[in-house]
Structure 1
Amino acid sequence: MVLGKVGEMRGSPRMVRVAAPGKINVSLRVGPPRADGYHGIASVFLAVSMYEVVTATRTQGQDVTVSITSAGPFDIPVDSVPLDDTNLAVRAARLLAEVSPGSTGVHLDILKSVPVSGGMGGGSADAAAALLACEALWGSGFSRDELARIAAELGADVPFALLGGTAVGLGVGERLTPAISKTPLHFVLVPADYGLSTPVVYRLLDGIRQRKGVEPPAPEIDPSILGAMRAGDGAGLAPLLHNDLQEAALELAPGLRDILDVGQKAGALAGIVSGSGPTMAFLASSEVHATDLESRLTAAGLIAMAVSGPAHGARIRSDSSA
């Protein structure tokens, strides 16, 4: 073995760049609070063509540092993203370093396209990309399944950002079953200029149910949703879009109702709050329809971006040798 600086093998990567997708919950059913404080869910995840890009660069020592920049049409408030150990990508790198004998210091540069606290799993995509980038950087030798088990320790959406595509998520979302969905579905996303806290949205949902005297059943997936997605049938999928968190998100951010109304008038097949919000996702029938819908929403004064799915999971884009 021929070693270079900081003990790495010559020819091993000095830098690895990975892209990981944001997601839409096409269907999200939420059960009652569990004993551990979390909620059981049944969700259909769709990875979409909006990517977080993490560049991991080897550094001296064992420290993990991070920098954040913004990309894409959305004005991402990167100042609100933490640069300390509460950053999910930093936590991912530190967690992997604990089980990687060849770990070194690393700097993570995150290029953000997914709205922050927008209900699309942007932070989870950062963590998934950091895991894959650092695994390649350090030659840890973990399989995708092993990385997914590590990812589950970081949050329910992180394993899906690794997997991508379409999947049914059970438990708290970490128990994933891939679903066949090869025909593209098209959405137009409209972000808000603020975020919503996922725990706050869940707590408000519990409060709304308590006020109404509603006892939620164990969450299940309607199989007709998967059939419509498999066929790429936007018109068939439209009435099946569902999000139990939407009522709580709309109560916290009433202005989202106006955006839903604008989307419907602009010709969307349907509109839904993405995850815990506040990003709105409007379903289109085709790529042409999505482009037209994006234009109409932009003309109405909204920031909008057409995306499609299923998109691939975390994937290495490039690397460079030491």
Structure 2
Amino acid sequence: MSHAVVDGRVHVRAPGKLNLFFEVGDAQDDGYHEVASAYQAVSLYEDLWAEGADEFTVSISGSVDVSGVPADDRNLALRAARLVAQRIGHTGGAHLEIVKHVPVAGGMGGGSADAAAALVACDALWGADLGSAQLHQLAARLGADVPFSLMGGTAIGTGRGDQLSPALAKGRFDWVVVPSEAGLSTPEVYAHLDALRTRPDIVSA
């Protein structure tokens, strides 16, 4: 992931992802599930611009339906910006402009990509120079998929999905993605899986 600075604004582009393999274990004490996954970044991107401001605000638009994306403190990108500010002791805020192209609530990591982009953008905006290790730590605090969104490429993820090992991928792969008219909430999907696993008539899920 790279960034560019134009007229005092930092622009970062972050890719969506596919899970080529996904195995889900039991829920842990922190509420997350143990997973094993093969992550693949795709050429479907989120664009984020960050500029200095007195408060933390976000505007959201895009080529996909963004009506369900929160523009308050539930927004992962805003939370990411606040985390960077807290880490470096920055007392100001930032305005984030997000243009989304990854389907919302489609399991392709659009919100995680926004958060990763915000980490990189605010790090550059405020000259924090936190480095990849510290940014990864902040990413892991935001969500299970944010560390991969920060890394990109192809990787094997374990733990919550945040323990990543880069994987070699050769050649070109083309994917056909057909969005549904209705999205799925990740917490609700995991909760349904947990409920299914308690049913005696289901051997495995």
Contact persistence 1:42–1:173 (CA under 8 A): yes
**Relative to structure 1, is the Cα distance of residues 19 and 79 closer, same or farther in structure 2, using a 3 angstrom cutoff?**
same
Report the counterpart of residue 143 of structure 2 in structure 1.
155
Once superposed, what is the RMSD of the aligned Cα atoms? 1.9
Residue 11 of structure 2 is aligned with which of 17, 28, 51? 17
Separation in 1 of the partners of 2:81 and 2:164? 23
| Structure 2 runs not aligned, ≥5 long | none
Taking the TM superposition and a 5 Å limit, the aligned residue runs for 1:162-241 are 162-212=150-200
Contact persistence 1:13–1:137 (CA under 8 A): no
Report the counterpart of residue 48 of structure 1 in structure 2.
42
Counterpart residue type for residue 83 of structure 2: L
* Aligned-residue offset at 1:205: 1.2
1:99 is paired with a residue whose SS is helix
Contact persistence 1:104–1:138 (CA under 8 A): no
Greater percentage in helix = 1
* Aligned-residue offset at 1:134: 0.6
Separation in 1 of the partners of 2:6 and 2:107? 36
Separation in 2 of the partners of 1:127 and 1:86? 11
2:144 is paired with a residue whose SS is coil
| Structure 1 runs not aligned, ≥5 long | 1-10, 217-243, 245-322
* In the alignment, structure 1 residue 81 sits paired with structure 2 residue 59: no
Counterpart residue type for residue 67 of structure 2: D
Report the counterpart of residue 58 of structure 2 in structure 1.
66
Report the counterpart of residue 111 of structure 2 in structure 1.
123
Separation in 2 of the partners of 1:162 and 1:31? 24
Separation in 2 of the partners of 1:24 and 1:52? 14
Q: Between Structure 1 and Structure 2, whose CA radius of gyration is higher? A: 1
Counterpart residue type for residue 31 of structure 1: G
* Aligned-residue offset at 1:107: 0.7
Separation in 1 of the partners of 2:165 and 2:144? 13
Report the counterpart of residue 306 of structure 1 in structure 2.
none
Separation in 2 of the partners of 1:209 and 1:156? 22
Report the counterpart of residue 23 of structure 2 in structure 1.
29
* Aligned-residue offset at 1:122: 0.5
Separation in 1 of the partners of 2:138 and 2:7? 22
TM-score, normalised by the number of residues in structure 2: 0.91
1:130 is paired with a residue whose SS is helix
Separation in 1 of the partners of 2:41 and 2:160? 18
* Aligned-residue offset at 1:203: 1.4
Alpha-carbon deviations, 1:66-108, whole Å to 9, x = none? Answer: 000113xxxx221211111110000000010011245632110
* Aligned-residue offset at 1:123: 0.3
Give percent identity, aligned residues only. Answer: 51
Contact persistence 1:100–1:138 (CA under 8 A): no
Q: How many residues align?
A: 201
TM-score, normalised by the number of residues in structure 1: 0.59
* Aligned-residue offset at 1:160: 0.3
Higher RCO (CA < 8 A, seq sep 6+): 1
* In the alignment, structure 1 residue 110 sits paired with structure 2 residue 111: no
Alpha-carbon deviations, 1:256-294, whole Å to 9, x = none? Answer: xxxxxxxxxxxxxxxxxxxxxxxxxxxxxxxxxxxxxxx
**Relative to structure 1, is the Cα distance of residues 206 and 16 closer, same or farther in structure 2, using a 3 angstrom cutoff?**
same
Counterpart residue type for residue 93 of structure 1: A
